[in-house]
Amino acid sequence: MAWYQPNRLEEAVKQAADARTVVVCGGTDLFVNWARRQGTYGEADWMSVERIPELQTISLDDTTGDLVIGAAVTAHQIASHGLCAAVPALQQAARVVGGWQIQNRASIGGNLVNASPAADMAVPLVAYDAVVALQSLGGRRRMPVRTFLRGPRQTALEPGELLTEVRIPARVLGRPQQFLRLDQRGGTDISLVSAAAVAQVDEGRVSFAQVAVGAANPVPFSLPEVDASLQGLAVADGAALRDVDGVVASVARRYAEAAQPISDVRASAAYRTAMVDVLVRRAIAGTLTFRAIAQEVEE
Amino acid sequence: MGNEVTVRSDVASKLRGETRYVADIHLPGELYGGVVRSPHAHARIVKVDVEKARAIPGVQAVLTADDVPGGAYGPTQFKDWNILAKDRVLFVGDEVVAVAATSEAALRAALAAVEVTYELLPAVLQPEEALAPGAPVVHDEQPDNRPMHVQLERGDVDAAFAKAHIIRGGRYTTNRIYQGHLEPIGVLANWSEEEGLTIWAPSHIPYRARETYAAAFGLPEDKVRIVVPPIGGSFGAKYVLKAHVIAAALAMAAKQPVRMVFDRYEDMLTAHPRVPLTIDIRIAADAEGRFLGKDVVVWGDAGARVYWSPNVMATACTRPDSLYHFGAVRAEGHLCYTNHSPTTCMRGFGNAEMLFAVESVIDEIADGLGIDPVEIRLRNIVRRGEVTIHGYQLDSCELEACLRQAAELSGWARRQALPPNRGLGVALGNHVSGYRGIDSRFEGSTAVARLRDDGRVEIETGEIDLGQGMSATYAAIAARVLEISVDSVIVKSGDTARYPFGIGTLASRSTVMGGNAVKLAAEQLRQQLTVFAQGEYGADVELIGGVVQSGGAAHSLAEVAARYRSRYAGDTLEVRASYRPETDFPGKDFYGNPSPAYPFAAHVAEVEVDPETGRVRVVGYWAVHDAGVVLNRTAAIGQVVGGVAQGIGWATMEDLVVAEGQVKNLSLLDYRMPGASDIPPVSVSFVEVPDPHGPFGAKSVGEVAIDPAPAAVANAIANAIGARGRHLPLSPERVWRLLHAEEEQR
Amino acid sequence: MSSMSEQNRSISLRVNGVSSAYEGAPTRPLVDVLRDVLGLTGTKVGCRTGECGACTVLLDGQPVVSCLLPVAAAADRDVETVEGLRAKSHFAQLAAAMEAAGGSQCGYCTPGIMVTLSAALSADAPPQTAADVAGVLKNNLCRCTGYQSILAAALEVVRQSTDATAPQAGGETEWATK
Ligand SMILES: Cc1cc2nc3c(=O)[nH]c(=O)nc-3n(C[C@H](O)[C@H](O)[C@H](O)COP(=O)(O)OP(=O)(O)OC[C@H]3O[C@@H](n4cnc5c(N)ncnc54)[C@H](O)[C@@H]3O)c2cc1C
Ligand code: FES
Ligand code: FES
């Protein structure tokens, strides 16, 4: 059993090619109940990616304007970094991951690769239609988070590949947005259902809206064709929300219909389904009445 | 070892991380102990093969039922414990094989190498099913699966119901609450031929533990010594445990010390949670809201062995009858064996469970009659000077004052005009300060008081501090009697070989029982010290401010101590005193005065419910207590807030979920205890009137703190949503279902 | 510094300012190394799943749960446990406030809470309200106190520091309020 701690991406990619290598970042998923679970890893070699500079940065892409977040960036950094003020829904999600101690370790890359149906940071990323970059000795490829996540604990990551960055498209930066989650206590908890929405209102009409729902399907999901029904919706400045209630409610209902949650020790499927309806409605409503952030960022 | 603390040193070491709990203690040559447990709720053991495990290097002992004494024993009068399972396993987690090894790795390998062949048997998992004819029998000695059957009637209940103006009731169920002690179960055991067994066990009833373990191994009691390290929380979980017995068996077999420290998973798998109760209840009242009768049938799930479930059942069947005048009362209690891990008590001991039902039904009667919930309670509560229907003698009782004050502090009048989805709920509670029924042989407490060489005073007690401030209270009592500073009192406890016998810290005993013993011992020490000082310095001696004054000269206690030694061959001045309360053992009829003093409380909770999600937030809480004279204010407030927090968790989020005999939520993630944000500001106040029997007028506070809490929260939720939750916990989903009941039926 | 650590190469630790070399499985949780190898038993184990916070230590000044931290991840970084923190003067201020408020009962959660609060109170933006403190403590469970006394103790320290840095007030304090 060896422990590798590369501080250059190229070395890490080389090491990742070895089939015995298990990648670890913050370890907050991998090392839960370690004494009971270590047996399943046998004689693996370990590679920590948390000190690789390329994976630690948060930056704006000069050409595209995309926000690029390195895979090893922690929830705490996302919650407190100036550039991330442009993605408040992701910050809201980062702030509910565990508590302070977990947020100091939990990485955005780990949250995605771990692929829990209830992963919180994944939900706004799906709403944003963010893209991940995957790198191996064979090269680098990109794909949307929406397709990267395949099922519980399943992703499109191939053996030997590292997730290096998450790219949030410029078009959602600074747009009104919101992440909401339903949990059951104020201590660390897991989402029963979560939802994220990002939208833009131009001249009193919705010009852009994307929604995602977490913990209700094997992976966080979006329904672009349903989101499209929000396009052009008139939400005049200061207008009472009841004017848009009908449309928003029907979007929420369609998300609930598409949800196929499980029944488990935390909640029943029926309840989760009903909560998808509630959270989607609230997330959209909250987003459409929440414009201050957009102005701040654009100014 | 055990605990030796002054008030300040105890807290300071906890804050500095210097306190050594059992997992922090190591003995040279210690082995790691572990247990192979049943994965089945009920099965016949066909074959146990330990050969491979024995062959693993580092394995020092592998024990099966054939290697240990087989006699039945147990901590109560129900003797249904074994050391290891012989023919059948009775629940998931039941102990089959024990292993001790030189390393954790060897232990794990050995546990995995043990092969047990089982033949599955039908399991009985519900108390009501356990009583049905033809149900699987858990213990052959108890073919009806019912180790305890309470049947009790006082007054003519049927007649009372016949003349009632209103009757309300229904079926209520309480949940499986895990004590949630932050320190997992752990133990260290050692054996030597000369001294016998020494067990470092965080148990707050170590003398009962000693008696039980001595019986298990057929040893005389003086060959078993229990040393109690500081306890990292118990709330009822750390009384007398199989883990202690098994570690001891391993140490005897290996002739080496054995440590066994559970991780949270094993702690929860083997947990002995609160006895879940199913309660069918009816209460009858007249048109003015005066209660005429109460009728309950209770089923309790004892699990596969008896721990303290009989006391829980007895308390549930009787205790609220000494809080309200119900007129005529009838209770039938069925305590049933099932194939679940044995259940036991937790803070509140069955009373909080029954009060959840009682207080809910009282609110329904109030609703039905259009009487305010506070008002209907005022019309029915017990008062000072009364003897209750079961014979409790209330020599102090400020319940009415507590209720009025709670209503005032909480702004109860707002209840008429609360915003939507907000609710206020009230509930009352009572408890004991020591319960005569805990031990049929004796009740009371013994303390030793000793003047040390350095002039400080040492108190020894058989009761145990759980962090509830017991030692601080004892120090305060001794300091007050002797007129010395609290910091010059040292309280020692927690070693059956060194300190006086004590029944232990349960049934809210410590303040009144141990406190009175400490007071007596301190008084006698003061008296003897004075007599001695008179002989030394003259008849005019006075003990003032920790100094003996005589004829204008001052003599320090250290000087007095030195003189005493020189006069008595080096001996120290010490006294030993026992407090014996005048209480009655509650016999089969449950009649009598079982405790010297009864504490009371009135709680009001305010909640806000999200009607779309069912998520409840407790946003305000007011607790007013009659704990007699409060001797240690910070500790008493801490007890109340801690109890309220546990009650909030209990009512809104906690539940050890079992299905097919398996616990399904074996982690602190899925067994949700409240975090800091779940607890609102809790306003705590006391109505302080001295109790004639408590030390300096004090009564207990630890358990009554939780008694009203689940009911207060449940009543607040019902007030907020206009529907009543009868099954705890009122989780978001349950509340949501209550709110959407009509939609569901459609 | 070499970027790759070889198999079974010893791991250099710096705990409470003291350097040591650890030899053994790199994946062993730091909490076990602290307790069983270094004898620093002030750090407690309550769950091993990251929920309870009893094992909280500071890693380069930031609180983390040491049950989920493989010892190798702490290599060449600063680890501070309650044993190290208690030697600092600001710890005594918090301890005094906790004692006065009754912030510790059984004490098992206490070292973890002291470590978390120490970090929060010396951060650039210390908590100002009870809700802030509750947020800081989301990862710390206490079964005994109901938290109220702990929140009060933390706020008392904040208050003392604010008073101390106010123009007229005298006395130095270690807690930064800004
Ligand atoms: C108490 C507690 C509370 C929690 N609460 C929440 C919560 O509220 N919401 C939530 O979403 N999650 C929660 N989590 C889960 C966890 O903290 C997050 O999923 C976290 O983001 C995982 O990141 P990590 O860096 O710790 O992952 P690790 O444990 O290091 O890794 C997780 C997985 O990702 C792989 N991996 C990591 N980085 C890479 C990479 N760059 N390339 C390829 N593979 C990689 C690892 O091999 C592993 O399979 C909680 C965990 C705990 C212990
Ligand atoms: S032991 Fe690490 S968080 Fe509980
Ligand atoms: S003081 Fe006991 S858990 Fe916090």
Distance CA B473, CA C102 (A): 14
The percentage of residues in chain A with a pLDDT greater than 70, rounded to a whole number, is 94
Contact B447, B459 (CB under 8 A): yes
Q: Residue type for B386, please?
A: E
Residues B332 and B353: their CA atoms lie apart, in Å, by 15
Question: Mind listing the pLDDT tens digit for each residue in B483-536?
Answer: 999 999 999 999 999 999 999 888 788 899 999 999 999 999 999 999 999 999
Q: Which residues pair with B296 in a beta bridge?
A: B281, B331
Each residue's pLDDT tens digit, B235-294: 999 999 999 999 999 999 999 999 999 999 999 999 999 999 999 999 999 999 999 999
- The pLDDT value recorded for residue B440 is 85
C93-119 tens-digit pLDDT: 999 999 999 999 999 999 999 999 999
| Contact between residue B91 and residue B102 where contact means Cβ atoms under 8 Å apart | no
Mutation pick from C81, C148, C149, C156 vs chain B, by most beta carbons of B within 10 Å, is C148
Question: Ligand 3 within 6 A of C141 CB?
Answer: no
Q: Summarize chain A as % helix, strand, coil (round to 5).
A: 40, 25, 35
- Res A241: pLDDT: 53
The preferred substitution site among C28, C33, C55, C137 for testing ligand 2, maximizing ligand atoms within 8 Å of CB, is C55
Q: Which two tokens stand for residue B184?
A: 């997992």
Neighbours, chain C (3 or more CB pairs < 8 A):
A, B
Q: How confident is the model at residue B438 (pLDDT cuts 50, 70, 90)?
A: confident
> CATH 3.30.365.10 region(s) of chain B?
349-436+593-745, 445-579
In this structure, what token pair is assigned to residue B15? 């804050």
Strands, DSSP E only, in B114-263?
Answer: 115-120, 148-154, 166-173, 186-192, 196-200, 224-227, 258-261
Residue C50 alpha carbon, nearest atom of ligand 2: 3
Nearest CA to ligand 1 atom 4: A98
Work out the average pLDDT over B55-70: 98
B349-436+593-745: CATH topology is: Aldehyde Oxidoreductase; domain 4 (3.30.365)
Kindly give the distance from the C-alpha atom of residue A72 to the centroid of ligand 1, in angstroms, as a whole number.
10
Ligand 3 pocket test: pick from C45, C105, C148 the residue with the most ligand atoms within 8 Å of its Cβ: C105
Mean pLDDT over the full length of chain B: 95
CA distance B164 to B365: 11
Q: What is the pLDDT of residues A195-239, one digit of tens each?
A: 999 999 888 889 999 999 999 999 999 999 999 999 998 886 555
Q: Which ligand has the nearest atom to the CA of C44?
A: 2
Q: Do C80 and C57 contact (CB within 8 A), yes or no?
A: yes
Average pLDDT over every residue of B340-363 = 96
Residue A55 has pLDDT above 80, yes or no: yes
What would the two tokens of residue B165 be? 């103006």
Ligand that comes closest to the CA of residue C73: 1
**C-alpha of residue B332 to centroid of ligand 3, in Å:** 37
Distance separating alpha carbons of residues B9 and B11, to the nearest angstrom: 6
* Residues B12-43 pLDDT 10s: 999 999 999 999 999 999 999 999 999 999 99
Residues shown for chain B: 746
Calculate how far, in angstroms, residue A4's C-alpha sits from the geometric centre of ligand 2.
Answer: 25
- Strand, helix or coil at B525? helix
Between residues 339 and 378 of chain B, which touch chain C (CB distance below 8 Å)? none
Mean pLDDT of C119-131: 95
Closest-lying ligand 3 atom to the alpha carbon of residue B14: 1
* ipTM score for this prediction: 0.96
| The pair of three-digit structure tokens given for residue B643, joined into one six-digit string | 């109890």
Which pLDDT belongs to residue A297?
A: 35
Mutating to test ligand 2, I would choose from C65, C113, C116, C143 the residue with most ligand atoms within 8 A of its C-beta, which is C65
Give the ligand whose atoms come closest to the C-alpha of residue C143.
Answer: 3
**What's the pLDDT score for residue A292?**
35
User: Backbone phi, then psi, for A129, in 5-degree steps?
Assistant: 60, 50
Tens digits of per-residue pLDDT, B551-568? Answer: 889 999 999 999 999 999
Q: How far is A105 from chain C (nearest CA, A)?
A: 7
What pLDDT shows up at residue B644? 98
C139 CB less than 6 Å from ligand 2? no
CB B99 within 8 A of CB B21: no
Q: What's the CA angle centered on B110, arms C23 and B183, to 5 degrees?
A: 70
- Give the ligand with the smallest distance to the CA of A188: 1
C67 Cβ below 6 A of ligand 2: yes
Q: Whose CA is nearest to atom 3 of ligand 2?
A: C50
Distance C119 CA to ligand 1 centre (A): 23
The per-residue DSSP string of B135-165 comes to PPPS-TT-TTS-SEEEEEEES-HHHHHHT-S
B232: tokens are: 């990292």
User: Which residues from chain A sit within 8 angstroms of residue B732, using beta carbons?
Assistant: 182, 184, 192, 267, 271
pLDDT above 60 for B223: yes
The residues in C 68-127 lying below 8 A from B, measured between CB atoms, are 81-83, 86, 91, 95, 98-111, 114
Which of A28, A33, A91, A166 has the most ligand 1 atoms within 8 A of CB, as the residue to mutate?
A: A28
Residue C177: band (very low, low, confident or very high) from pLDDT cuts 50, 70, 90: very low
| pLDDT above 60 for B379 | yes
pLDDT of residue A256: 98
Q: Is C23 on the interface with A (CB under 8 A)?
A: no
Q: Is the pLDDT of residue C9 over 80?
A: no
Chains touching chain A, criterion 3+ CB pairs below 8 Å? B, C
How far does C10 lie from chain A, in Å, by closest CA?
A: 11
Whether the per-residue pLDDT at C1 is higher than 80: the answer is no
Confidence of residue A43 (pLDDT cuts 50, 70, 90): confident
Regarding the beta carbon of C96 and ligand 2, being less than 6 Å apart is answered no
Interface test with A, best of B178, B670, B679, B740 (most A CBs within 10 A): B670
Q: What is the pLDDT of residues B676-689, one digit of tens each?
A: 999 999 999 999 99
At residue B8, the pLDDT reads: 67
Give A151 to chain B, closest Cα distance, Å. Answer: 22
Query: Are C56 and C81 within 8 A, CB to CB?
Result: no
Q: In what order do the strands lie in the sheet with C78-80?
A: C18-22, C11-15, C78-80, C56-59, C62-65
H/E element, B249: helix B242-254
Q: Is B430 helix (H, G, I), strand (E, B) or coil?
A: strand
User: Percent of chain B scored above 90 by pLDDT?
Assistant: 93
Question: Whole-model pTM?
Answer: 0.96
Ligand 1 nearest-atom number relative to CA A163:
42
SS3 assignment, position B215: helix
* Rounded CA separation A183/B670 (Å): 11
Q: What is the DSSP string of B433-491?
A: SS-GGG-SS---EEEEEEE-TTS-EEEEESS---SSSHHHHHHHHHHHHHT--GGGEEE
Whether C36 and B32 have beta carbons less than 8 Å apart is answered as no
Q: How far is B47 from chain A (nearest CA, A)?
A: 26
Say how far apart CA B363 and CA B376 lie, in whole Å.
9
Contact between chains at B737 and A271 (C-beta distance less than 8 A): yes
Whether the predicted pLDDT of C3 surpasses 80 = no
Question: For the domain B3-121+179-269, what is the CATH code?
Answer: 3.90.1170.50
Instruction: Give yes or no for a contact between B189 and B199, defined as CB atoms under 8 angstroms apart.
Output: yes
Average pLDDT over residues C45-69: 98
User: Measured between CA atoms, how close is A116 to chain C, in angstroms?
Assistant: 16
Q: Is B664 on the interface with A (CB under 8 A)?
A: yes
Q: How far is the CA of B58 from the centre of ligand 2 (A)?
A: 29
Question: Any chain A CB within 8 A of the CB of C172?
Answer: no
Structure tokens at B342: 């044995």
pLDDT in tens, C24-37: 999 999 999 999 99
Mapping DSSP to helix (H, G, I), strand (E, B) and coil, where does residue B229 land? coil
What tens digit of pLDDT does each residue of A138-195 get? 999 999 999 999 999 999 999 999 999 999 999 999 999 999 999 999 888 999 999 9
Q: What is the pLDDT of residue C170?
A: 41
Instruction: Give yes or no for a contact between B533 and B233, defined as CB atoms under 8 angstroms apart.
Output: no
Q: What is the pLDDT of residues B611-657, one digit of tens each?
A: 999 999 999 999 999 999 999 999 999 999 999 999 999 999 999 99
Chain A: nearest CA to C100, how far in angstroms? 25
CB-closest option in C7, C29, C141 to A2? C7
Please name the CATH architecture into which domain B445-579 falls: 2-Layer Sandwich (3.30)
Q: At what angle do helices B470-482 and B7-15 cross, to 10 degrees?
A: 150
Residues of C in contact with B682 (CB under 8 A): 146, 148
Instruction: For the beta carbon of residue B67, count every other beta carbon within 10 angstroms.
Output: 15
Residue A242's pLDDT is: 59
pLDDT at B571: 95
Picking from B359, B372, B360, B367, the residue whose alpha carbon sits closest to that of residue B319 is B359
Residue B570 has pLDDT above 50, yes or no: yes
pLDDT at position B334 is 98
Q: Give how far the C-alpha of residue A225 lies from the chain's centroid of Cα atoms, to the nearest Å.
A: 20
What is the end-to-end Cα distance of chain A in Å, rounded? Answer: 53
* Residue C139 confidence (pLDDT) above 70: yes
Residue of B nearest to C109 (CA): B182
Within chain B, which residue ranges are assigned CATH 3.90.1170.50?
A: 3-121+179-269
| Chain A residue numbers touching C120 (CB-CB < 8 A) | 100
Whether residue A46 and residue C26 make contact (CB cut-off 8 A), yes or no, is: yes
Q: Where are the beta strands (DSSP E) in chain C?
A: 11-15, 18-22, 56-59, 62-65, 78-80
- Residue B76 has what DSSP assignment? S
CB contact under 8 A, B667 and C144: no
For residue range B531-555, list pLDDT tens digits in order. Answer: 999 999 999 999 988 899 998 899 9
Chain A CB contacts of C122 below 8 Å: none
Query: Which ligand has the minimum distance to the alpha carbon of residue C43?
Result: 2
**What ranges in B576-708 are assigned the alpha helix state H?**
633-652
Is residue B244 a contact partner of residue B201, using CB atoms and an 8 Å limit?
yes
First and final CA of chain C: distance in angstroms? 36
Residue B468 confidence (pLDDT) above 90:
no
Centre of ligand 2 from the C-alpha of residue C58, in Å: 14
Yes or no: say if A191 and A214 are a contact pair by the CB < 8 Å rule. Answer: yes
